[in-house]
Chains A and B, each alone.
Chain A
Amino acid sequence: MEVPILKQGLYLIASIQAALSDLDLVHLRDALAEKVGKFRARGVIVDVTVLDVMDSFASRTLRDLAHMTRLRGAETVIVGIQPEVAFAMVQLGLTLEGVDTALDLEEGLAFLDKKTKRHASRG
């Protein structure tokens, strides 16, 4: 199942709609890394609200996605990790280190606004 990627201003929003297979996640990672260039995006939001399981592969792929887009010049924020999913992740030792997260889409947008503005003012 392909994840729709929407463009909103300088950001790309990937809103996961249903459980994803490993292959789907890999496709999402690669699609975002590519689209960051195509749309000259400065930020990426991946909404995982509907995911009821985040196992080691999903965590690793999301981490890779965030690092890949950063290397392409865009910041990624993962939003919508459910409390139970967070609990299971911590038990498994999956901390998404080095990856920004926010409560929901709204917080994710606010986070990116702050982060990309800071970059802009530096330049």
Chain B
Amino acid sequence: MRPVANEAVVSINTDADVVAARQKGRELATELGFVSTDSTLLATAISELARNIIRYAKHGEILIAPVQSGDRVGITVVARDKGPGIANISLAMQDGFSTSGGLGLGLPGVKRLMDEFHLVSDANTGTTVTIKKWKR
């Protein structure tokens, strides 16, 4: 299986990196022939994940890479930080928690934008969110 395109790693330290990360995501989505709506959903999800890194962990990185499974082509995004971790994951994944005055992490929203969503977090290792979007 040949690699579809190169992966990118964007280090997230400032608010300008949020824009850089989502633009990288959109670039790859366009390269892979994603429909425009899905590129927008992906870019928006990356923006939210990058924002969480800055807000809660200060520093981290976002890896954006093409994935292939059988005939399907997609994009996987891994947002990693070594921050304080999420104390209550089930609360963080509760809908509405994010929209009430912007207190939450917006993770349920990110999950809705994506086809796959995986969250690992604890106080010792930080937080890793892995999301996937498949090309339609």
Contact = CB atoms under 8 A, between A and B. Distances in A.
A and B from one complex:
yes
Interface residues of A, number: 23
Contacts of A88: 40-41, 44, 113
A17 interface: no
Interface string A38-66: 00000000000000111111001000000
A107 interface: no
B112 A92 contact: yes
A19 B25 CA distance: 14
Given A56-B51, A56-B102, A92-B112, A87 B18 contact: no
B51 A53 contact: no
A52 B113 contact: no
B5 to A, nearest CB: 20
A7 B126 CA distance: 48
Interface in B10-33: 15-16, 18-19, 22-23, 26
